[in-house]
Chain A
Amino acid sequence: MSEPEQPNPNPPPKAKPAMSLEKRQRMRRKFIRSAILLAGVIGASILGVVPVIRGWAQRLRPPGALDEKDFLASCIKCGQCVQVCPVSAIKLGEIDEGYGIGVPFIDAREQACDFSCDAVQCILACPTGSLTYEKPDFFPVRKGAELSRMPVLKARANESEPAINLRERMGLARLTRPEACLAMQGKGFVGTPRGAGFKGKMRYMDIDRWKPILVRDYPYEREICDLCVTECPIEDAIALEPFTDADGNQGFRPVVREQCVGCGVCEMICPAEPAAIEIETRALWRANGEGV
């Protein structure tokens, strides 16, 4: 150590003492340890790509989400979309989703997006443009993801601006289990579709426009089960079409139309267990009338 009280501003340069063997070894060990730490943490972080590439969790993203790759990149994982949703439809991804950690998704069977906020609040809340009303031009729009017109909200059908500001679909509803569908069997439905323990909520315009209530508190009585059609929040998105099978039995088939945005209300409300109709995430509409 230099001696502060010696007023010699230019001392002769001291030769650096040779490092002791022990100290050198200690430094080497520290260096190797640091390299292992680097490899370990970076390796662990790269593992996060596995669930994404393998597609372990095909999540239904909130309305207005960018394409999956862009969505994961741009989402800042803050959950502001979760906070504004009036029916608490949005949840955040877990660490087993890798890079999808903290990224919002909708489990439609548990709680679908019924657009009871009217304005698509989650898009409004997003600070990074992960959820957006209008994609910038340089993001390509996949053919069949774009809606032919902005979807009309049944709840606002009589208002001057009945459409919601949504240009692409989240997915498409699909009758995945036609054999379980009550309408297909010509059956009706009486009661609460998801049982007394179901925690899902929905807005019922005849109850309160701004206060969604529990689905279990709203019993139905239908001669032919048409809940997926009547409860769908979007106009012209789904309809029942009558048919007669080979044995001469009359049934009704839920047919998904081009205006389906993939919000998942039909999946949530379907009384069959498991649901006869489900959302296929990010499915594209094809001109021949079948979602793919």
Chain B
Amino acid sequence: MDETSVTKTQDMPTGRKFVHVESIEARARRAGKLVAERAAREGLLDVAYGFAESPFGPLLVATTRRGLVRVAYPDLRPDEVLERLAREISPRVLESPQATEEIRRELEEYFDRKRRTFAVPVDLSRVQGFGAKILRQTARIPFGSVATYRDVATRAGSPGAVRAAGNALGANPVPIVVPCHRVVRTGGGLGGYTGGLERKVALLELEGATLPHHGGGSLTPRRR
């Protein structure tokens, strides 16, 4: 659409220069971007989101006042991710480059191999019971190393709950930052990954990790 704003500069190329006329759409878009800033100042921004650059494409990152609440791979439609956040946390969801600046920078540094640990607080308040324990134990696995599903289940206090541990990791709302990619099968199998197995391999390679009982060999997923 080429509707223009109703100002007296509308008509004319005056002299040599064309007067710049901003369309109503462009003015509305610019005004819309200011809403998130004012919302944040007035304490009305419950969920702020933005996009971080990554080798996998743009990652949607969302934060609450408590901390990082979501990292979503680009194969999920942003609208669907946002709808779920609106339903589960608050419909006051706004895009805010400012409010997500820290996590976006940390992720970009991680992918540039300039960062090994994340400093942003993580909001796991939506994750219940055993799942939260599993994710907290997973957050302790250091950069470049791996643990087995049985390891994290044991550290979370239930050595037998290997399958439950796998389910909790599969539902990790903040992959990469809570490094569920560092959890693998006993015996050297890679197990699964919320973002797809290729990404798990890519992350482990980026960290220079080697799998236990795997002879330090290739991380290529096994064919079935």
Chains A and B are bound partners: no
Q: What is the interface of chain A, defined by CB distance below 8 A to chain B?
A: none
Q: What is the interface of chain B, defined by CB distance below 8 A to chain A?
A: none
